[in-house]
Amino acid sequence: AKLALDGTTARDGRLPVNPSGGLKAKGHPIGATGVSMHVLTAMQLVGEAGGIQVPGAKLGGIFNMGGAAVANYVSILDRIR
């Protein structure tokens, strides 16, 4: 909670989290949440995220959980240089 309160996880903070508002902000497109998370992260890394762009984004971390917490994965995306 401290990191959120002190602005560390804000879009312009040292460690931005969910600049799009997260999946709660977009509803729950069943079956498409993981794809959406990867697309939004890729858009950040190529500088095409518009009003939610994190300046200088170089790495993106994605965590998704499906079913009754039985299908979990983590992806780390890196900007192509």
Mean pLDDT of each 10-residue bin along the chain, 81 residues long: 94 91 74 86 96 94 83 91 73
Q: What is the pLDDT of residue 30?
A: 73
Paired with 65 in beta bridges are 72
Q: What is the pLDDT of residue 20?
A: 87
- State the Cα angle at 42 between 59 and 56, rounded to 5°: 45
* Beta carbons within 8 Å of 3's beta carbon, 6+ residues apart: 9, 15
Q: What is the pLDDT of residue 52?
A: 93
Q: What is the pLDDT of residue 5?
A: 96
- State the Cα angle at 79 between 73 and 81, rounded to 5°: 150
Q: What is the pLDDT of residue 60?
A: 96
